[in-house]
Amino acid sequence: MTLDAVAREAGVSLATASRALNGTTRVRDDLRGRVRAAADLLGYIPNAHAQALASAEGNRTVGLICHDVGDPYFAGIASGVMRAAAEQDLLVMLASTFREPAREIAYVSMLRAQRARAILLIGSGFQDRAWERAMDAELEPYVRAGGRVAVVSRHRSMRVDTVQPENRAGAAALAASLVALGHRDFAVLSGPPELTTVADRLTGFREGLAAAGITLRRVVRGAFTREGGHAAARQLLAAGDARPTCVFAVTDVMAVGALAALREAGVRVPEDMSLAGFDDIPVVREVSPPLTTVALPLTEMGEQVIALALRTPSRAGRSRVLRIEGNVVLRGSTGAPPRS
């Protein structure tokens, strides 16, 4: 079914049929009626590709690139993006990179080919000069051609709009709260150091401790997953030296894994050891004890990043940074340190 067939059925020209259906220009009521009826009758569905090609408007799709929709952190943000997109009749093209930097760049390229109206990059970038250059080379022509880019949790040299959780400040505030509980001896379960989010949270936590004159004793590195947190916690416990009284996992996903590892090792939380995470993904309220964390409004962040991308660019073309404060939420997984 093409528009041409609809026009013929309605006895009008192609141009009139197009205008009647899109409502851009005035069309005589009876003609519009005939066209609509013909379209209904034939079950006409416009070809979005032809529309995108012919019109200046471009198409109604946005691209969303994240590390993994299966991860509750990204699922939360994606959910917010979906909600906002639905309200604006936008279709979302979703890409999961599974944390492969090269794949992320390839997806941007595919999204450019699709002439996506906007590209949303969700989740920490990689601290890697070559990768950054390649990414910029991909993004710059896209933006120059009118494409919109907005990111979550990413430091950009480029002028793109950003939703930036205050990772550093949040981690520092968490450290302060933990110190206030009486802890002096900390370990961090950390993720891949090339992720900027990891670096920021680690730095912030260190700063928070330093403000109280405390030095972070130990950092164990793990994968950015539940299993990574589990393994890191086991490694921490296996080490011969005295155990810290409090452990900070840089993401809730890791913290959940760590909690399981502690339980398996017979370490009571928080009696023997306190545990905290970051993000406030839904699951942390369901575990026992519920996890102390730094809460980020994930769904909202998703809504905000797409709003940022779609807003009419400021005359100056300056990029905007929306800072998202992280709120420390003390729950059952943290308490006073055990008396030694």
Partner DNA sequence: CTGAAAGCGCTTACAG
Contacts to DNA by CB under 7 A:
1-4, 12-16, 18-19, 21-22, 24-28, 31, 44, 46-47, 50-51, 53-57
User: Is the bond into 289 cis (omega within 30 degrees of 0)?
Assistant: yes
Minimal distance, residue 287 CB to its own copies, in Å: 5
Our CB check for its own copies shows the closer of 241 and 286 to be 286
Distance CA 22, CA 308 (A): 27
Our CB check for its own copies shows the closer of 60 and 243 to be 60
Minimal distance, residue 14 CB to its own copies, in Å: 16
**Using an 8 Å Cβ cutoff, are 167 and 203 in contact?**
no
| Residue in 40, 282, 311, 321 binding its own copies, rule: CB under 8 A | 282
Minimal distance, residue 216 CB to its own copies, in Å: 27
Positive or negative, the Cα torsion across 226, 80, 202, 330?
negative
Among DNA, its own copies, none, partner that 43 touches (CB below 5 to 8 angstroms by kind): its own copies
Question: What string marks each residue from 295 to 324 as x (binds its own copies by CB under 8 A) or -?
Answer: ----x-------------------------
| Residue in 86, 210, 211, 321 binding its own copies, rule: CB under 8 A | 86
Our CB check for DNA shows the closer of 13 and 288 to be 13
Our CB check for its own copies shows the closer of 114 and 203 to be 114
Q: Residue 2 interacts with its own copies (CB under 8 A)? A: no
293 torsion bin: left (phi>0), alpha (psi -120 to 50), beta (else): beta
| Residue in 31, 75, 158, 322 binding its own copies, rule: CB under 8 A | 75
Q: Residue 14 interacts with its own copies (CB under 8 A)? A: no
Q: Count the neighbouring beta carbons within 10 Å of the beta carbon of residue 184.
A: 16
Distance CA 247, CA 273 (A): 7
Helix (H) or strand (E) holding 186: strand 186-190
Output the DSSP codes for 69-113: TTSHHHHHHHHHHHHHHHHTT-EEEEEE-TT-HHHHHHHHHHHHH
Our CB check for its own copies shows the closer of 98 and 321 to be 98
Give how far the C-alpha of residue 117 lies from the chain's centroid of Cα atoms, to the nearest Å: 18
- What is the token pair recorded at 71? 């991860």
Q: How many residues in total does the chain contain?
A: 340
- What is the token pair recorded at 211? 């403000």
Residue that the structure tokens 């990689």 belong to = 126
The torsion angles phi and psi of 298, rounded to 5 degrees, stand at -55, -50
Minimal distance, residue 26 CB to DNA, in Å: 3
Question: What string marks each residue from 137 to 176 as x (binds its own copies by CB under 8 A) or -?
Answer: x---x-----------------------------------
Our CB check for its own copies shows the closer of 5 and 94 to be 94
Our CB check for DNA shows the closer of 43 and 317 to be 43
The torsion angles phi and psi of 50, rounded to 5 degrees, stand at -65, -40
Contact region for its own copies (CB under 8 A) — 39-47, 178-186, 204-212, 318-326?
Answer: 39-47
Contacts of 49 (CB under 8 A, 6+ apart): none
Q: Residue 15 interacts with its own copies (CB under 8 A)? A: no
Q: Partners of 152 in the beta sheet? A: 122, 163
Our CB check for DNA shows the closer of 14 and 41 to be 14
Minimal distance, residue 186 CB to its own copies, in Å: 24
Q: Residue 258 interacts with its own copies (CB under 8 A)? A: no
Q: Residue 98 interacts with its own copies (CB under 8 A)? A: yes
